[in-house]
Amino acid sequence: MGASTARVVVVGGGFGGLFATRALVKAPVSVTLIDKRNYHLFRPMLYQVATGLLSADEIAGPLRSILSRQRNVEVLQDEVTGIDPEKRLVHVRQHEVSYDFLILATGIRYNYFGHDEWRHVAPGLESLDDADLIRGKVLTAFERAEEMAALERTGAEGIKHFLTFVLVGAGTVGVEMASTLAEMSRMALAHDFRHIDPRSAQILLYEAAPRVLPTFPEVLSAKAQRHLERLGVKVHTNTRVTAVDADGIVANGVRVRACTVLWGAGVLASPAGRWLGAPMDKSGKIVVNPDLSVPGHPEIFAVGDTAHVVAESRNLIGLKSKQPMVMPGVAQPAIQEGKYAARVISRRLAGDSAPAPFWYWDKGDLAIVGRTYALADLRFIRFTGFSAWILWAAVHIYFLIGFANRFLVVLQWAFAFLTKRRQVRVFPGQERAASAHSPR
């Protein structure tokens, strides 16, 4: 690259960061993509790793491999600790990276509402490590129940404690996890134990809002709840969890004993807004300009879960919405915002006029509630059941990175559908975890 080549730093290798980087392939820039992990993760299917349907490498790919053919990109695995917008420097753990343009796609983390100590006993599903941890917690609960029953060391209440699974938050992740755990206990594990009946496992789903999937239309939320209940999930809406510990939870003042608690109740943005002193919404997202730039910093852009974006939208068939909408925290807005930020940078460098303000092509919302049941809200039409599940599967296969991953996932799904089994039933790190907690 020549000395006059503009340097673009992209922070975050999720959907927004990756698609922004790819969109700069023909721009006269050098791009540095920084992420604390070395992989791009297809988060919409992370719950399938946590429940043993897919393996980690089927929904994730090394960033270096994905971008290996894009010659104007370098990948830096490091953690950003701050930004100096005056000097145009990104601070990582050991050094600094300068930039001419900066794209922040730093993602989110789960919100424990001031109780970060709950994170250790109620993990959220954010990364592959979290998926491995959750799969281990779930399978270990069944193993411990089997052991206690075989050795007659506990009664029915003790077994019930091990086989009670609590999920806090009935958004998309909570509903997907609850339905999958219910099917897992009633199908995949049903015949694997001799002293316990996995089908007796209790799956409890708690939501502070009046209904599950609160971002979906009410009619679809009601259908989702009915299907969850048919699967055996006990749904508690209008119920706030006020305490979490190793023995379970307290919900609306009632103690609920559970061996396994999983968290999915609300999210917080990364500290990017605080680094810049930028205006933020209540969840910490940066309130950006119509061109996705940060107010007061036209060379800095925020996309995806880092940004609070209010924009015009058009539905799948091109009809314009009556009023602007707040972009939801899902993959499609992040992808489109990343591409748009890259286009703004490219046009500036070329001396062209700025593009029109960002607008969102709203392709609707999808959520899966079991192995053959899903919800589809395409804005102009809504439907549920197997047809929605087919659409969900097709969309998610399409957006997986790499042909090999798509092929392997289809095979795994077909095998699981026909056999009702889960292939990924091992959870590494057991010996290390055991030795860490053993007396010395």
* Residues known to be catalytic: 176
Q: Strand order of the sheet with strand 241-245?
A: 241-245, 248-251, 254-257
Q: Which residue is listed with tokens 């089927």?
A: 58
Count CB neighbours of 403 within 10 A. 8
Backbone angles phi, psi at 351, to 5 degrees: 80, 15
Q: What is the DSSP letter of 211?
A: S
Q: What is the CA radius of gyration of the chain?
A: 23
Tell me which residue of 170, 176, 163, 171 sits closest to 131, measured CA to CA.
Answer: 176
Please report, in angstroms and rounded to a whole number, the separation of the first and last CA atoms in the chain.
57
Backbone angles phi, psi at 260, to 5 degrees: -125, 125
DSSP letter for each residue of 227-277:
HHHHTTEEEE-S--EEEEETTEEEETTEEEE-SEEEE-S-EEE-THHHHHT
Rounded-to-integer distance, Cα 235 and Cα 228, Å: 8
Residues whose CB falls within 8 Å of the CB of residue 392, separated by 6 or more in sequence, listed in order: 366, 367, 368, 374, 376
DSSP letter for each residue of 317-385:
T-PBPSS-EEPPSSHHHHHHHHHHHHHHHHHHHHTPPPPPPP-EE---EEEE-SSS-EEEE-SS-EEEE
Rounded-to-integer distance, Cα 434 and Cα 440, Å: 12
Identify residue 9 by its one-letter amino acid code: V
Q: Which residue is listed with tokens 């700069």?
A: 24
Identify whether the C-beta of residue 103 lies closer than 8 Å to the C-beta of residue 334: no
Backbone angles phi, psi at 302, to 5 degrees: -125, 135
Q: Up-side HSE of residue 155: CA atoms within 13 Å toward CB?
A: 1
Q: Which residue is listed with tokens 């919302």?
A: 365
